[in-house]
Structure 1
Amino acid sequence: MTAPDLAMLYPQHIEQLLARTAQALQRGGFDHLVVPSGTLHYHLFDDRDYPFATNPQFKAWVPLTRNPGSWVVVTPGQKPTLIYLQPFDYWHAVPEAPSGYWVEHFDVVVIRKPDEALQHLPRDAARCAILGEPQSTLGAFVPNNPPAVVNYLEYHRAYKTPYEIAMMRQATRIGVRAHRAAERAFRAGASEFGIHLAYCQAAGQDASELPYNNIVALNEHGAILHYTERDHLPPKPARSFLIDAGGSFRGYASDITRTYAHDTGGEFQALIDAVDAAQLAMCDAVRAGFDYKQLHLDAHLALAGILKDFGISKLSPEAALETGVSNVFFPHGIGHGIGLQVHEVAGFAANDSGGTIAKPDGHPYLRLTRVLEPGMVVTIEPGIYFVDLLLDGLRQGPHADAVDWDRIAAFRPYGGIRIEDNVACTDGAPLNLTREGFAANAA
């Protein structure tokens, strides 16, 4: 995706944001939308700052992710304003003047000190919906995050514009390139830490630039869903490798998981292949009008069927779901929305005024309960894990005889399997951004 391509897509994106903002402000009874980029946060009792994270409401408008102290102001019927902090500073690199395909769509005001923004913000802060963290307060401009405005904007943020899909495609290409490097490092015998470094090098992003903390897990560590310890020495032998890691592109994220077996001809590889085939079928179910909650339950049935096929479970898929046995091996949700945030907002929103769509009983970790519609981008990430804590609970419970414990013991040293793609819902067949990315970057 080139800059000219983004330049063609951006005008429609900004028009969509302007239309949503006008409606949101009308609902909230405000005249202006004011969005700070955010401010640096500092360690207590120290002068070191935490890595800066841009306000998602800000980067929805402009592809700026390293610009604390800046503001976007939107007044319906007027060209939006970007108040851009370009400080006098010889301690740090000063951001260059705004440039690129998006700049012409804003009145850009450059300031040298954060307080100078007050000269360019609307006169009456009480007439403004100010979206941000309390630390972004400037004079009378205290973030109020009015629910009517936030609910509307976040609900509709689920529907990605073509420009946003293009940005996410670029984030996917970065993530895929790094995943290829990570697999090569694993097969060369690297440690978890070494694999992580190889990933960052290939992505061209350090840990603070990536969309989330890389999960790099060898052997039994694959059974820890959010494992981020990264041992500096490789295990002996290295049996398996699970990596959950993404890439960032101008504020947008990809979220990709793959699992590999050291022995590509063994039974664990066969289990990976079975989960991969099931995952592809789940991705194909990302269709307009389909309830994401049902997709999650269908995933349990599919994975329970695999467990039975491999002699791990003795129950039918339906019985494994009903008794909760499938939750022991698949203890998280099938996925979530993704975009400006890895776990995109409004996953449970009943409508653009608020309200909540409940999760299915017995499935507390599902992060999205909405009906799929064109423009939504979701992750599909089924998994099978051998988690000691959950297995001990199963062994001590009423369904201990529902599984073959010898088969579980054989798979336990491999930790677990997760396969995750980012899939866009369309008016027809889904668009699998992740598989597209891997096909374009063949090993």
Structure 2
Amino acid sequence: MLFTDEVYKNRQAKVATAWKDLLGSADLILVHSGESVQKPGGLDQTYDFLPHPSYFWLSGHRRAEGVMAYSLTEGWIEYQRPLSPVDIVWEGAEGNFVCEHSLEDLKKKISGGTYKRILHLGQITTGTATDEITRELAIRLDQVRRRKGPEEVRLIRQIAEMANAGYTALKKAIRPGVSERELQLHYENAVLMAGADKMPYGSIVGSGENAAILHAVPTAKKVTSGELILVDAGADVEDYCVDITRMFTVDEKFTSQQQEVYDLVHQAHKEAVKMCRPGTEWRDVHMKSARVIAEGLKQWGLWKSSVDAVLESGAISVFYPHGVGHLVGLKVRDTGNPENTNPKRYYGSRLRVDLALEKDYLITVEPGCYFARAFIEDQAIRENYKDHINWSEAEKWKTFGGVRIEDDILITDGDAESLTDCVPK
């Protein structure tokens, strides 16, 4: 296990406290690890198993078919399918820990009639429960998980150093003629050699105009002199991860235009991080970053109307089309924001995370400014924002690409702390 037994017992106790007023003596909660998924046409092949993060966070175990059960009368009990000798011969004994209770024991418990209401959380193969009590249990579990413990913070710092090894290797590999795909391989090889298990998401490498593609898949495109390169890539150890974006240039330094855009995004990043304190609404952080970007674009003649009008109309979303960040840590989207059932738009961007920050939350701050040809040339977008965007000026930018800067920010009692500052900006 990644952490000590005491860590997991403390986590279980916190969740039990959060659930206490929702449950009766005849209730049983089952948090499922999930089952292996067969590859299409793969016969006996399955995808690499990923336990549901709630189960993994509670148990520290990564076995398929595991269940963490909780009741007011018995507390927490873990149930597992024992590995057979055949399992061990084919797949190895990794994760073959001793578990006192089997899935057969759980079946007997359920059929015994003691528990009148059985509620399922985690990775459920029979469909997602939508009843109100199950939803509230899941939300409260997420709310407890959202606060990062000191052991998680230490691990994430270590993972950030692994990512830094990748960024260092990638920077050394940049030269005219190298492909985006080659840069990805330089990065990922160095990260894995530094101790990571895998990448937390598909590494993003976009050069030139591709830097304006938010989830740019690295291609065979060769980078050329004068281009910017946007790299959004992380590192992962047993699903704990970092999510980092950095900018590079093929040449020794940015052009004056590239420097201006970079400085603008960097300013938005700094202003957003400065706001990251307990009690601050995340939407306000996003809107501050959008205002900084909009004010910069005003100086370059891209607006026909005032900054306030541009923001209220949503026109800023043509150049800044995403939210300022998301919760991160245990998986790249971590607990998300399930309470936010109807995401609202703020300055044109729909925020999936819309909550007040609290101490020990870990969240990305990743403002960006992009000049996407697909947006600039789209006639419906042009018509929609014709009173706000100076399209003749926007045309001049459509080969530029884009800039994004991203760090993973820990909310503290005072100033927020970046856990990814080891990677130079």
Say whether the fold is shared (TM-score over 0.5): yes
Q: How does 1:186-197 map to 2 (within 5 A)?
A: 186-187=174-175, 189-197=177-185
- TM-score between the two structures when normalised by the length of structure 2: 0.84
For residue 185 of structure 1, what is the aligned residue in structure 2?
173
Structure 1 segment 238-387 matched on structure 2, within 5 A: 239-263=227-251, 264-266=253-255, 267-313=257-303, 315-347=305-337, 349=339, 356=341, 358-360=343-345, 363-387=348-372
The percentage of aligned residue pairs carrying the same residue is 25
CA distance in 1, matches of 2:199, 2:46: 18
In the superposition, the TM-score normalised over structure 1's length comes to 0.81
Residue-by-residue CA offset, 1:250-272 (whole Å, 9 max, x unaligned): 32221111122224141213311
Alignment of 1:7-86 (within 5 A): 7=4, 11=6, 14-24=9-19, 26-29=21-24, 31-47=27-43, 48-65=45-62, 67-76=63-72, 78=75, 80-81=77-78, 83=80, 85-86=82-83
Question: Where does structure 2 lack aligned partners over 5 or more consecutive residues?
Answer: none
In structure 2, the CA distance between the partners of 1:200 and 1:398, relative to structure 1 (3 Å rule), is closer
Residue 403 in 1 paired to residue 390 in 2?
yes
Query: Secondary structure in 2 aligned to 1:302?
Result: helix
> Quick one: which of 200, 204, 212 aligns to 1:211?
200
Gaps of 5+ in 1: 99-107, 351-355
Question: What is the number of residues matched between the two proteins?
Answer: 407
- 1:193-233 Cα shifts (integer Å, max 9, x gaps): 111111221111899932211111111111111122x2124
Corresponding position: 1:434 with 2:420:
yes
Task: Return the letter of the residue paired with 2:318.
Answer: V
C-alpha distance in 1 between matches for 2:123 and 2:154: 28
Correspondence for 1:227 among 216, 219, 228:
216
Greater mean deviation of Cα atoms: 177-186 or 424-433: 177-186
Q: How much does 1:39 deviate? A: 1.4
Compared with structure 1, are the counterparts of its residues 268 and 312 closer, same or farther at alpha carbon in structure 2 (3 Å cutoff)? farther
SS in 2 for 1:379: strand
CA deviation vs aligned residue, 1:101-157 (integer Å, no higher than 9, x gap):
xxxxxxx4179xxxx52235670265543323343x7xxxx9857223212212332
Distance (Å, rounded) in 2 between the aligned partners of 1:69 and 1:304: 50
Cα displacement (A) at 1:240 = 1.4
Contact 1:132/1:143 (8 A) holds in 2 = no
What do you get for the CA RMSD once the two structures are aligned?
A: 3.2
| Structure 1 residues 179-204: Cα deviation after superposition (integer angstroms, max 9, x where no partner) | 23223323475311111111221111
Bigger mean CA deviation after superposition, 154-163 or 423-432: 154-163
Structure 2 CA distance for partners of 1:260 and 1:404, relative to 1, 3 Å: farther
Change (3 A) 1:84 1:190: farther
Amino acid in the other structure paired with 1:255: D
Q: Alignment partner for residue 149 of structure 2, among 138, 141, 161?
A: 161
